[in-house]
Amino acid sequence: MLIRRPADIRPSEITPEAVFRSRRRLLAAAGYAGAGLLLGAGAGAAGIPAGHQRLTGVKESPLSSRETPNSFEDITHYNNFYEFGPGKSDPAEQSAGFRPRPWTVTVDGEAGVTGRFTLEDILKPHPLEERIYRFRCVEAWSMVIPWVGFPLGDLLRRFKPTSRAKYVAFETIVRPQEMPGQRSHVLDWPYVEGLTMAEAMHPLAILAVGIYGVELPNQNGAPLRLVTPWKYGFKSIKSIVRISFTVQQPHTTWSAAAPEEYGFYANVNPRVDHPRWSQATERRIGSRFFSPKQPTLPFNGYAAQVASLYTGLDLVRNF
Ligand SMILES: Nc1nc2c(c(=O)[nH]1)N[C@H]1C(S)=C(S)[C@@H](COP(=O)(O)O)O[C@H]1N2
Ligand SMILES: [Mo]
């Protein structure tokens, strides 16, 4: 393999995102107290296209992956968001008319505190963190995404769930005038998802409000979406308007659409194939040249952190 000295690498070969990463490493290496901890300034320097609102006071997290994130372009132009259409480029192309503000979230069910809350009320107490996570879609592609968000459990605790609350259900907004995909019945609207209470309280489960230090683009689930990095991507429901604490396991959109193909748990598992394709390997989006598929890891590489959530559970039956 040919190793080139840095001077041989032309600036045009360095992606803006590489700059974003290396800036942090430089600051860390220089031991510049504090500077490496506060992100956000990096977004502008990283050349994120104009018109994206910068998030301030974002702290790095020890829970971040050290893998190189996908480009902003990949993350915002290769999407699944059926409310804007079923194609990978539909969300980027069809979501410009979506208005993620003002926004409210309704909280109901088995909790001491319920009601309708503004997005500002929801977000106010939560310091923002950058969480660079591997992201594995059930369709056998993957990315690495620098989310900005906060632990889901920290929000849920504020509502004082009762001892009867065994699950948390989430619902996406229904707004067919702004979401052209909702004008046809490819899926049952609203898109719904759910987690067990234990999964929802796990420190890796976050609500994301941004990527690359800027507010979530519409196509990524503005203004608020779930991210559970050890589960297939369809669990990470976008544009959330309702959170419900439930006694029964909630219905979920993809298991209702195709129960043999998509289960409630949807933990990434290379040993449980999808009925129509293998889950043993995955294609990392954005690899510049033809590259072989890479192995898929149990729980998407987060087994050490999350496997104990499933002690005694048959992960083949509960797929
Ligand atoms: N409301 C809603 N949420 C959704 C989806 C969707 O179609 N509608 N697609 C899911 C799927 S299959 C994946 S892989 C991820 C994709 O997230 P991304 O486009 O931000 O990468 O969103 C998930 N959340
Ligand atoms: Mo997905």
pLDDT tens column, 50-78: 999 999 999 999 999 999 999 999 999 99
Domain that holds residue 11: 6-306
What percentage of the chain carries pLDDT values higher than 70?
85
- Phi/psi region, residue 84 (left: phi>0; alpha: psi -120 to 50; beta: rest), is alpha
- The answer as to whether 314 is a domain residue is no
Contact 124, 55 (CB under 8 A): no
Contact 81, 221 (CB under 8 A): yes
193 lines ligand 1 (CB under 6 A): no
- The answer as to whether 148 is a domain residue is yes
- Nearest ligand to residue 191 Cα: 1
pLDDT tens column, 137-185: 999 999 999 999 999 999 999 999 999 999 999 999 999 999 999 999 9
Can you give the CATH number for the domain in which 244 is found? 3.90.420.10
Domain count, the chain: 1
80 lines ligand 1 (CB under 6 A): yes
Please report the atom of ligand 1 found closest to the CA of residue 220: 20
pLDDT reported for residue 66: 96
- Return the DSSP state at 191: P
- The answer as to whether 209 is a domain residue is yes
pLDDT tens column, 239-289: 999 999 999 999 999 999 999 999 999 999 999 999 999 999 999 999 777
Residue 122 pLDDT more than 70? yes
133 lines ligand 1 (CB under 6 A): no
Cis peptide before 223 (omega within 30 of 0): yes
236 lines ligand 1 (CB under 6 A): yes
pLDDT tens column, 195-242: 999 999 999 999 999 999 999 999 999 999 999 999 999 999 999 999
Rounded to a whole number of angstroms, the distance between the first and last alpha carbons of the chain is: 41
pLDDT reported for residue 37: 46
- Amino acid making up residue 186: V
- The answer as to whether 275 is a domain residue is yes
Residue 24 pLDDT more than 70? no
- The answer as to whether 1 is a domain residue is no
Ligand 1 centre to CA of 228 (Å) is: 12
Closest CA to 258 of 271, 240, 272, 274: 274
- The answer as to whether 315 is a domain residue is no
pLDDT reported for residue 291: 77
Residue 292 pLDDT more than 50? yes
What residues pair up with 192 in beta bridges, in sequence order? Answer: 171
Please report the atom of ligand 1 found closest to the CA of residue 75: 21
pLDDT reported for residue 22: 54
pLDDT reported for residue 2: 37
137 lines ligand 1 (CB under 6 A): yes
Please report the atom of ligand 1 found closest to the CA of residue 91: 19
**Region 23-30 average pLDDT:** 45
- Return the DSSP state at 275: T
pLDDT reported for residue 314: 97
- Amino acid making up residue 217: P
